[in-house]
Structure 1
Amino acid sequence: MARAGKSPLNCDLAVVGGGPAGLATALLAARAGLNTVLAAPQAKPDHRTFALMAGAVRMLQRLGAWDTLLPRSAPLRRLRIIDDTGRLLRAPTVEFDAGEIGLEAFAWNFPAAPLSQVLGELVGKEANVKWLTGAVTSCDAGPEGCELMLDDGTAIHADVVAAADGRGSLCREAAGIAVDTWRYPQTAIVTTISHDRDHMDVSTEFHRRTGPFTLVPLPGKLSSVVMAETPEGAKRLQELDDDALANEIERRSHRLLGAVKIAGPRGSFPLTGLLPKAFAKNRVALIGEAGHVVPPIGAQGLNLGLRDAAMLVECLGQAGDTDAALAHYDRQRRGDVVSRASAIDVLNRSLLS
């Protein structure tokens, strides 16, 4: 992976953004025969974890990434939902077993870092992808294609741009795609814990008045934690030292996993939502968080982003007019994304009511 010179480049598809969804888009496009440029600086460290469902796993298998990732993942064979709202009338605890519906697991959970590393290594070996490490500083999008400029002076002309450049997408704005955004009265705290009891491949979600509190298995006696809190409550949690935060997680989890220790960095982010007015316009197609932001419920975020990648490449690979292909992409992604985002929104707001 090396910085490009300043000669203009022409390509079928320019992928802007080097997160997992962007890397997957570049790989899929290249292997479908599209002349592909990936414009993405080296990614910053990402301490999140992702729970990928069967469709995403099948994609990673096709890309040749899954055999490396599997040992770093934990299967979610059972899902447990506990009403911990403290209300007088509470729902009974519910458990779902993947085996009962013929699945090995509902999803596989693993850290973001190895996913990006493995996909990045595959992109680096792909002859049909030119990876530029300059950051996109401008995008001129129109009906005949897009002109991109990088901070190292490189100019790119792309028939289509896959905007995988995040929720504040420069390319989305350049294409004239408006968005609806909203905020929830919640902040999420995320971290990794070790525990002295085996999680038994069970993902547990406590429904609390401030939102979900979720324990998701990782390999060994490790789990990722997501706690949705009020902004004030999240601030208090962030101010706790590791021992005090571990004690709070033990209390909230009713010691299901026994004694707990903080085993990784912690982070926080406000819970927000974002949906675009269009998923493609002026030769720019939205991928990942450029096209949808949802609360961390039901592990939808990256799974949606990988479906974006697969659908875009499928549409562009069909013979015919590029604009018709992007119109088809817009219709297909709108139905999937809006329905799932609406369901997540209703569930999250129901916990707050």
Structure 2
Amino acid sequence: MTSPPRFEAAVVGAGAVGLCAALALARDGVATALIGRHGAVADGRTVALLDGSVRFLDALGAWAAIAPHAAPLAELHIVDDTGSLFRPPPARFVATEIGLEAFGWNVESARLVASLRDVARTAANLTLVEADAADLETGVDAATVRLADGSGIAARLVVAADGGRSVMRRSAGIRERTWSYPQAAITTLLAHDRPHRDVSTEFHTRQGPFTLVPLPGGHRSSLVWVTAEMAARRLSELDDDALAQAIETQAQAMLGAMRIDGPRGLVPMRGLSVASPVADRLALVGEAAHVFPPIGAQGLNLGLRDAAALRDAVLGARSDGRDPGSRQALAGFARSRSRDARLRTAAVDLLNRSLLTGLVPVDALRGIGLIAMTSIAPLRRIVMREGVLPRMGAPALMRAGAG
């Protein structure tokens, strides 16, 4: 029987996180296979790439092609629209206060993935295997990814970037915890009469956050409207004119008349966490390791930190002469990524659940917290910096001066 092709690393999943993980390893000389079919990405979604993620993409050679199609998020405004007795005044956060041009940049998901694919096609040390992974077999010194056609790819380390229903995670027997919310999110692209001025606005409603995020050109934005599940389904069934009117009303006409200017999506609100993001010769990144609602621009950015941190762990193991797929080599990665995922998941979950409850003490605490962040400058700056990129343990390619 012919032995399967062997690599130092095999990344399963050809979405944005998988592409970044593969490119990050390959750029530093790690012989890498990227396994996954390159399907279409078109559901009206955009991604707000925070400052650290932009640095990472730049280091991978992808940002130059993405930048002309991205809009800066220079300010974040939060408006309490819950009707609470303890409703705080609108909050304003400005990137220049922490020395940044923008908190991040908003780009259509399809553009991001297409640009990463272009880089991957010509990257040294990277072999593209456009096939579905079906199973994982772990051996003493390597693991083998079995493909749908029965063939295999062997590697010292397998990276699972194959999403919330990860085949690799299931094959490795990693325990997961899942949960859901009584909500769904409407996503689409909008054109509007008034300029957004590079301001992202988030309305906190009793059904969830309603967020408008700038797109290039000044008069286009992306929408993530989290609301009750049945209400979201009703909205998704409206024609374009009726949906645009509903969005304009919910936005308090702050951007003037609106029209639908791209595809729509209806996203379930669910969460997933794992007991550990590593197993024998396997590391989980992105939604294979953690899923939570599209709130606060944390999901993809967390996945990109996974990819950048894994690259650091692999290079550290290589420099020390250790096996990069061993539990010892992955222990630090597991600790840091578990901590980051727990903190971000808890923050998003707490915000979302606090909006859904009508309890007066919860409203009061949320209002007091927002007032404190806006009125106490040192606290505001700490919150903004941590929201963009954790200061402790930031991956090398996400730090200032990375390249």
With the shorter chain as reference, the TM-score category is over 0.9
Identify if the C-alpha distance between structure 1 residues 142 and 335 changes in structure 2 by more than 3 Å, giving closer, same or farther.
farther
Supply the AA of the counterpart residue of 1:9.
P
Does the Cα contact within 8 Å between 1:143 and 1:282 map onto a contact in 2? no
| Range with bigger deviation, 209-218 or 312-321 | 312-321
Instruction: Please state whether the residue corresponding to 2:342 is helix, strand or coil.
Output: helix
Q: Give the aligned partner of residue 68 of structure 2.
A: 71
Q: Aligned partners of 1:205 and 1:114: how far apart in 2?
A: 24
AA paired with 1:88?
L
Pair 1:330 & 2:339 matched: no
Q: Counterpart of 2:177? A: 180
The answer to whether the 8 Å contact 2:40/2:110 transfers is no
Q: Which is richer in strand? A: 1
Partner of 1:15: 11
Residue identity opposite 2:290 in structure 1: H
Instruction: Letter of the 2:215 partner, please give it.
Output: L
Task: Tell whether 2:81 aligns with 1:84.
Answer: yes
Residue aligned with 2:254, SS: coil
For 1:139, the equivalent position in structure 2 comes to 136
Partner Cα separation in structure 1 for residue 140 and residue 224 of structure 2: 42
Aligned mates of 1:106, 1:73 — CA distance in 2: 13
2:230 maps to a residue whose letter is E
Residue 143 of structure 1: how far off its partner (Å): 5.2
CA contact (8 A) 1:36 1:129 kept: yes
2:30 aligns with: 34
Paired amino acid for 1:67: A
Distance in 2 separating the partners of 1:306 and 1:167: 15
TM-score (norm 2): 0.84
Say whether the 8 Å CA contact 2:53–2:304 is kept in structure 1: yes
Q: 1:305 aligns with which of 303, 306, 310?
A: 303
1:315-343 Cα deviation digits (max 9, x unpaired)? 01112243211111111101111111111
Q: Give the superposition deviation at 1:99.
A: 1.2
User: What are the Cα deviations for residues 140-186 of structure 1, in whole angstroms up to 9, with x where unaligned?
Assistant: 23553321111233311111110000000010111111011110111
Distance 1:262 1:82 in 2: 23
Q: Distance in 2 between matches of 1:123 and 1:310?
A: 16
Answering whether residue 342 of structure 2 is matched by residue 344 of structure 1, we say no
In 1, the alpha carbon distance for the partners of 2:297 and 2:170 equals: 27
Counting only pairs closer than 5 Å after superposition, residues 121-160 of structure 1 correspond to structure 2 as: 121-142=118-139, 144-160=141-157
Give runs of aligned pairs for residues 1-353 of structure 1, distance below 5 A. 8-47=4-43, 48-142=45-139, 144-220=141-217, 221-318=219-316, 319=320, 320-322=322-324, 323=326, 324-353=328-357
CA contact (8 A) 1:80 1:205 kept: yes
The residue type equivalent to 1:79 in the other structure is L
Q: CA deviation at 1:43?
A: 2.0
Q: Distance in 2 between matches of 1:180 and 1:137?
A: 22
Secondary structure (helix, strand or coil) at the match of 1:256 reads coil
Structure 1 letter corresponding to 2:32:
T
Instruction: Please give the alpha-carbon distance, in whole angstroms, between the structure 2 residues aligned to 1:197 and 1:143.
Output: 61
For 1:23, the aligned partner's letter is L
Residue by residue over 1:263-321, the C-alpha shift from the partner in whole angstroms, topping out at 9 and shown as x without a partner, is: 01111021011110001011110011001111112101111111111111110111224
Structure 1 residue 127, shift from structure 2 partner: 2.5
Question: Could you tell me which amino acid in structure 1 is paired with residue 257 of structure 2?
Answer: A
What is the root-mean-square deviation of aligned Cα atoms in Å? 1.2
Residue ranges of structure 2 left out of the alignment (5+ in a row) = 358-403
* Residues 187-223 of structure 1: per-residue CA shift (max 9 Å, x gap): 1110010001100000000000000000000011110
CA distance in structure 1 between the partners assigned to 2:220 and 2:140 by the alignment = 50
State the partner residue of 1:3.
none
* Matched residue type, 1:122: V
Counterpart contact for 1:180–1:275, Cα < 8 Å:
yes
Partner of 1:302, secondary structure, is helix
CA distance in 2, matches of 1:7, 1:119: 30
Conservation of the 8 A alpha-carbon contact between 2:51 and 2:103: yes
Counterpart amino acid of 1:100?
Answer: E
TM-score (norm 1): 0.96
